[in-house]
A and B are shown apart, each in its own frame.
Chain A
Amino acid sequence: MIVGTLQRAKLIKITRKRRLLLPGRVLVNEGDPVHPEDVIAEALLPDKVFILDIAKSLGLEPDQAGQCLVRQIGESLQPEDIIAQCEGAIPRLVRTPIAGTLTEYHQGKVVIATRQTVVNIKAGMIGTIAEVIPELGAIVSVTGSLLQGFWGNARVGSGLLKVMEPDLDSTLAVSDLASLEAGLLVVAGMCSSVDVLKALEEKKAAGLIVKTITPELIPIILDLSFPVLVLQGFSDLQPDPVSIDILQARNGEIACINACPKDIINGQHPELIIPQGKGSPAEEKDFKEKLEIGQQVILLSGSDIGKIGEVSALSDEKMQFDSGLVFEAAEIRLQNGELIHVPCQNLLIIG
C-alpha cells in the first residue's frame, strides 16, 4: 500500500520549488544564497484603472468621440497629457489627470491603467538557488535537518532555535517567557493558552514550534504575525523522539519555518529547516511511498495515536478492528517493544 510520508531527518538534501502564479521577473541567479524573506521573483499585476468619459467632456455623442482621440492604445501617459482634442468653433481638449497607460477605448470612454501591484514569491528558507525557472521562480536547495509537521498558520520566518525544555513534554507558560529575547524560534511541548501567544508576540518571537496545541487556539493563531508550526497534532500526545533528538542537537542554531498549509498536489508540508549539519545527507522521500517492513512510521489513529514505531510485518489478509471495520493492517513494534496492529491507511512513513 502507498501511504504518505512525513520527513523528520537529521541531515537531508532539501529542494523546494518557489514559483509565481503568473509570469514575471526572476530576481536571483543560480548559486545565489537566500534567506526566508528574500524575494525570488516578482510580477506586476494591473491593479487600478481610471475611466474618463471623453465624449461627455467634449460634448459629443459616444460614437463621435473616437475620432477625437489623439493617443494610441498602449501609450504611456503623464498627468496633463492631452488625450482627446476636437477642432471647431470652440476647440476643446481633454487632459488626463493622472499618469498611466491608455488601455482601452469604447463608446466615448477611455480606460487608463494607473497602478500595478507587485506580487512576489519569497524563498521561505535559508539556502542556495539551485536552478532558475525562467519568468516564474527558482528551485532553492539546502542540506540540513528537516522536520515536517501537521499544521501551520501560513507564515514564514527565521531565527535562532530556542528549545524551552528538552523533552517537549510540558505546556508552555507565560512565566517560561520572562527572559526570552526577541527574534527567537521558540520550541515547546504544548501550547494551550492565549496569554502565551500574546506574550510571544510582545516579545517579538520569530516563530513558535510546538508538539501540539489545543484546537481552540486555531482562530487566534491564524491571526498572529509570526509563524506557528504544529509538529504532531491537537491533543496531548507523547513526544516524538526523532524530533526531540534533532531539536536538542541543533538548539541555538539558525533555522527557518515555512508554516504553509499542507498541499497534496504540490507536495507541501509545513516545515522547519535547520541548515547545515555533519555527516552524509540522505535523499528526500517522495510525497507518498510504498509501506515496507522496517520503516519508521507515525500512527494516526487509535489509543497509540502520535507514537512512532517500526513496521514489523505486513499481511495480504485484512483484519477486523475494534470499530468493526476490516482493513489492510500493518504490525507495528512501538518503541517500548509492544506489538500492535494498525490500519495501513492510518500510517505515515517518517524518515
Chain B
Amino acid sequence: MERQFFSKLLGLDLGNVNTRASIMGVRDEKFCLLDSERALTSLGQGLNLGTGAGDAMRQLQNRSSHILLEKSGKLIMPSNSGGIGVDKVALTTSLGPLPRIILLGLTASGSLQAGRNLVDSLSVTLLASFGMDVLVNEPYIIAELLHALPELLILTGGEDAGAEQALIRWIDVLRIYYSLALHSIKPVFLYAGNPQLENQVRRRLEPVAKLRITANLQPHVGELDLNPAKVILDQEILGFLKNKLPGMAALSAYSKDLEGTKAFGLDRMVRYLSLKSPSDQSRSKHTGVMAIDVGSVNTLISAGISGKSGTVVKSYWQEKVIDQNHHLLEFVQRWTGLAITSQQINHFLCHYALNPWIVPENRMELTIMQAFTRFRIKNIVSKLAFNYPWLRYEDHKGLNTHFESIIVSGSVLTGAPNSSQTMLMLLDGLQLQGITTVIVDKHHLLPLLGIIADAAPVLPVHMLGSDAFETLGTVVTAVSDVPIGKIVLTVRVTTDAGKDYSLDIIQGELRHLVIPKGVSAVLEFKPTQRTDIGFGSYGLGGELRVTGSALGVVVDARGRPIYLPEDDDGRIEQLQRWQWMLGS
C-alpha cells in the first residue's frame, strides 16, 4: 500500500453492540489519541450503520473541540487549516452476520488443519470441512456442497511441488459442482494450494466461478503461510458485509482501503509487535506479545513471538450457553465469588445469551458475567494453543509460553468497575507464568492501528507509546510445588520515592505491591529452590525495574492450577479474598 500523509485520522470501530469513534492527530510532533467516544451500533432491520457511527461522531464533537461534521451530518474531509474535519478514515468491524465457508483439503492433520487455522483467525462460520477421503464418493460430496449453500469455498493442500493427483480430483469435482450450482448463489472460490496447479485451476474454474488465488497455506510440511490468504479472505468478508448491512458500503466509501475486520487488524498488529519485542538477555526464553479482546459477542486472541503468530476468533458464544454446555456451567459456578445457585447462573446466562447487549445492573449479574469471561478467555487460549503448538498451554496448568506484554481490550474487560477486576479476569482465565506487563487498550485502538500501519507506519509506533495504552500492572507468577502456606518467594522493593520494604510471598497468595504512577522501583526477587518466577529456572532470582501503574506489581503465587477449595463457602471466601487483595 502506498504511504499516505495526513494530520488527522478518524478511526471507526463497528462492534455488534457499540460503535466507537476515535480521533488521532498530531500533538508535540507525535501522533496521539485526541479523543474517543462511543454510541450503540445501529444494527437491525430497518436500521443503517451510519446512524450509530454518526451518533458516536456527534457525541465526540459535542464533548470535545473537534468539529467533524457539517450541519447536514456529512463528514468533513479533508481537514482544513483550522483543524476542522479529518483527512482519513480507518474502519474496523466485528459485525455479523458471518459468511459461511466450506473448507476442502487433503489430510486432517496437514492441509485441513492449515485451513482451519486460517478460518479460525477471521470472523466466518465454518459449515464443514472435507478431506481427500470423501473423493471416493464424488456424487456424495457434490450433493453436500450443493445443499450447504456456502458463500465461500476454500481449497488447499499439497506442498509446493507436492501432491497433485488428489488436488486435481478436487478441481474436477469443483468444476462439476460449479456447473450445477445456480448462478446467483455460486460461492466465491479461493484456491490456496500447490501453486503448480494454478494454471489448471484457472483453466477449469475461472469460466464457472469467481476465482481468487493466493499462496499455498502450507508451502512445506509444518510451515504455515496464512497471511496472503488472510488478506483475501478479509476482503471477501468485508464485501459480504457491504452487501448485507445497510450503511456499511457508505462508511466503507469514506475509509476506502483503510479497512478490515477487527481480527485481521489485531493479527497484523500483534505480528508487528512480536517482531519488535526484544529477547531479554536476563531471561533465557524468547518473549512475545499477546492481545485479548472480549466483547459482548466476539472473543479474539492473537499472540506472537519472534515473527511466529496466530489468531483465533470465537463468535456468538450464545449457542454454547443455550445448548446447556455442562462444562461451561460448572466452570462459571466455580469462579463466581457470591453464593449463587447453579440454577440462578444457568437462568442468567441463558437470558444473557438471548440479549447479549445487556449490561450488569447488580453484583450478581456482574459476578456471573465476569466468571463467564474467565471461561471465554480460557476457552479461546486453549483453542489458540491447539491451532499453534508453539504456544504451550494446558487446561489445568495454564499458559506456559511467556509473553512480555499482554494487551487487553473489549467492553467486557475494559468496562469492569475497576482495574483489579479486569486484572483478575485475565489472571484467572489465562493462568500466566513468568513476568508479564498487562496493558489496557481502553479505546480499542489496536486493530485500527493494524489497519493503518501499512499506510502510515509511524502512527502505530507513536500511539503505542502514548497514554491511549495504559499499563495496568506487572504480573510476576511464582510457580512452586511447596504446600499452601509455605514461603515461595521473598521480594525486596526499592522505590525512588524513598519507600523500601521486603515481604515474603506465601504459596496460595495473591499479593499487590502498590507502586503509584510516577514512581519507579527496583524489585529484587529471591525465590525458594522449588519456585520458578521466570528468570530461567527454579530457584533463580533476579531484579526487575518497573514504573508505577494502576496496579503496580501483582505477585500471583496461587499455584498452577490455581487452587480453589472444593466447598462452596471456602471457595467463595477465597475468591473474595483475592478480589480484596487486589483492591477490588
Query: Interface residues, chain A, CB within 8 Å of chain B?
Result: 1-2, 4, 21-23, 45-51, 103-104, 106-107, 111, 113, 117, 150-151, 214-216, 218-219, 233-235, 262, 264-267, 286-288, 300-303, 305, 321-325, 327, 342-343, 345-346
Contact of A51 among B51, B138, B204, B359 (CB under 8 A): B138
B354 pairs with A262, CB closer than 8 A:
yes
Q: A49-B139, A151-B354 are in contact. List 12 more A-B contacts (CB 8 A).
A: A1-B40, A46-B146, A48-B143, A107-B172, A111-B176, A215-B350, A234-B350, A264-B43, A264-B44, A302-B365, A323-B359, A323-B361
CA A303 to CA B360, docked complex, whole Å: 12
Q: Identify 16 residue pairs between A and B in the complex whose beta-carbon atoms are under 8 Å apart, listed by A's number.
A: A49-B180, A104-B176, A104-B179, A117-B147, A150-B354, A150-B355, A215-B324, A216-B324, A286-B45, A287-B46, A300-B351, A303-B362, A305-B351, A324-B366, A325-B360, A327-B359
CA A215 to CA B347, docked complex, whole Å: 7
Please provide the 6 A-B residue pairs with the shortest distance between their CB atoms, ordered closest to farther.
Answer: A267-B45, A324-B417, A235-B347, A323-B366, A322-B362, A301-B361
Q: Which of B44, B143, B147 has the largest count of A CB atoms less than 10 A from its CB?
A: B44
Instruction: Say yes or no: is B322 at the interface (Cβ < 8 Å to chain A).
Output: yes
A84 to chain B, nearest CB (A): 18
B360 pairs with A287, CB closer than 8 A:
no
B93 to chain A, nearest CB (A): 14
- Given A22-B149, A288-B47, A345-B40, A323 contacting B176 (CB threshold 8 A): no
B146 pairs with A47, CB closer than 8 A:
yes
CA A117 to CA B180, docked complex, whole Å: 13
- Of all chain A residues, the one with the shortest Cβ separation from B351 is A233
* Residues of chain B lying within 8 A (CB to CB) of residue A104: 175-176, 179
- Given A288-B47, A323-B366, A324-B418, A235 contacting B40 (CB threshold 8 A): no
CA A323 to CA B363, docked complex, whole Å: 5
B311 to chain A, nearest CB (A): 25
Q: Which of A50, A235, A301 has the largest count of B CB atoms less than 10 A from its CB?
A: A301
- Of all chain B residues, the one with the shortest Cβ separation from A286 is B46
A21 pairs with B357, CB closer than 8 A:
no
CA A235 to CA B347, docked complex, whole Å: 6
B139 pairs with A22, CB closer than 8 A:
no
Instruction: Say yes or no: is B111 at the interface (Cβ < 8 Å to chain A).
Output: no
- Of all chain B residues, the one with the shortest Cβ separation from A113 is B180
* Residues of chain B lying within 8 A (CB to CB) of residue A46: 146, 180-181
Q: Which of A218, A219, A262 has the largest count of B CB atoms less than 10 A from its CB?
A: A218
* Residues of chain A lying within 8 A (CB to CB) of residue B567: none
* Residues of chain A lying within 8 A (CB to CB) of residue B346: 215-216, 234
CA A302 to CA B357, docked complex, whole Å: 15
Contact of A234 among B323, B347, B357, B359 (CB under 8 A): B347
B57 to chain A, nearest CB (A): 16
A345 pairs with B357, CB closer than 8 A:
yes
- Of all chain B residues, the one with the shortest Cβ separation from A115 is B143
A67 to chain B, nearest CB (A): 20
- Of all chain A residues, the one with the shortest Cβ separation from B367 is A323
CA A180 to CA B448, docked complex, whole Å: 60
Contact of B362 among A51, A218, A323 (CB under 8 A): A323
- Of all chain B residues, the one with the shortest Cβ separation from A235 is B347
**Among residues 181 to 220 in chain B, which have CB atoms less than 8 Å away from a CB atom of chain A?**
181-182, 184-185, 204
CA A302 to CA B348, docked complex, whole Å: 10
Instruction: Say yes or no: is B358 at the interface (Cβ < 8 Å to chain A).
Output: yes
Chain B 329-369 interface mask (CB, 8 Å, partner A; 1/0): 00000000000000110111011001101111111011000
A322 pairs with B175, CB closer than 8 A:
no
B361 pairs with A302, CB closer than 8 A:
yes
- Given A48-B143, A264-B43, A323-B366, A234 contacting B360 (CB threshold 8 A): no
A346 pairs with B359, CB closer than 8 A:
yes
CA A262 to CA B96, docked complex, whole Å: 14
Instruction: Say yes or no: is B465 at the interface (Cβ < 8 Å to chain A).
Output: no
Contact of A2 among B42, B97, B172, B323 (CB under 8 A): B42
B258 to chain A, nearest CB (A): 25
CA A302 to CA B241, docked complex, whole Å: 35
* Residues of chain A lying within 8 A (CB to CB) of residue B46: 267, 286-288
Task: Give the contact-size bracket for chain B.
Answer: 35 or more
* Residues of chain A lying within 8 A (CB to CB) of residue B172: 106-107
A157 to chain B, nearest CB (A): 21
Instruction: Say yes or no: is B244 at the interface (Cβ < 8 Å to chain A).
Output: yes
* Residues of chain B lying within 8 A (CB to CB) of residue A323: 359-363, 365-366, 417
B50 to chain A, nearest CB (A): 13
Contact of B44 among A1, A214, A288, A301 (CB under 8 A): A288
CA A47 to CA B140, docked complex, whole Å: 9
**Among residues 270 to 325 in chain B, which have CB atoms less than 8 Å away from a CB atom of chain A?**
322-324
Instruction: Say yes or no: is B142 at the interface (Cβ < 8 Å to chain A).
Output: yes
- Given A103-B176, A104-B176, A233-B350, A47 contacting B147 (CB threshold 8 A): yes
* Residues of chain B lying within 8 A (CB to CB) of residue A117: 147
B42 pairs with A288, CB closer than 8 A:
yes
Contact of A265 among B51, B176, B244, B350 (CB under 8 A): B244
* Residues of chain A lying within 8 A (CB to CB) of residue B51: 2
- Of all chain A residues, the one with the shortest Cβ separation from B362 is A322
B351 pairs with A235, CB closer than 8 A:
yes
A48 pairs with B139, CB closer than 8 A:
yes
A233 pairs with B324, CB closer than 8 A:
no
Chain B 123-141 interface mask (CB, 8 Å, partner A; 1/0): 0000000000000001100
A121 to chain B, nearest CB (A): 14
A219 pairs with B323, CB closer than 8 A:
yes
Q: Which of B324, B351, B354 has the largest count of A CB atoms less than 10 A from its CB?
A: B351
A268 to chain B, nearest CB (A): 8
A22 pairs with B182, CB closer than 8 A:
yes
- Of all chain B residues, the one with the shortest Cβ separation from A343 is B359
CA A307 to CA B545, docked complex, whole Å: 55
**Among residues 502 to 554 in chain B, which have CB atoms less than 8 Å away from a CB atom of chain A?**
none
Chain B 148-184 interface mask (CB, 8 Å, partner A; 1/0): 0100000000000000000000001001100111101
Instruction: Say yes or no: is B245 at the interface (Cβ < 8 Å to chain A).
Output: yes
CA A218 to CA B181, docked complex, whole Å: 36
* Residues of chain A lying within 8 A (CB to CB) of residue B570: none
- Given A22-B149, A117-B147, A103 contacting B179 (CB threshold 8 A): yes
Instruction: Say yes or no: is B583 at the interface (Cβ < 8 Å to chain A).
Output: no
* Residues of chain B lying within 8 A (CB to CB) of residue A233: 347, 350-351, 354
- Of all chain B residues, the one with the shortest Cβ separation from A267 is B45
Instruction: Say yes or no: is B228 at the interface (Cβ < 8 Å to chain A).
Output: no
A22 pairs with B359, CB closer than 8 A:
no
B354 pairs with A321, CB closer than 8 A:
no
A218 pairs with B360, CB closer than 8 A:
no
- Of all chain B residues, the one with the shortest Cβ separation from A324 is B417
CA A300 to CA B347, docked complex, whole Å: 12
Contact of B324 among A48, A218, A346 (CB under 8 A): A218
A191 to chain B, nearest CB (A): 14
Instruction: Say yes or no: is B415 at the interface (Cβ < 8 Å to chain A).
Output: yes
A265 pairs with B359, CB closer than 8 A:
no
B44 pairs with A265, CB closer than 8 A:
yes
B184 pairs with A342, CB closer than 8 A:
no
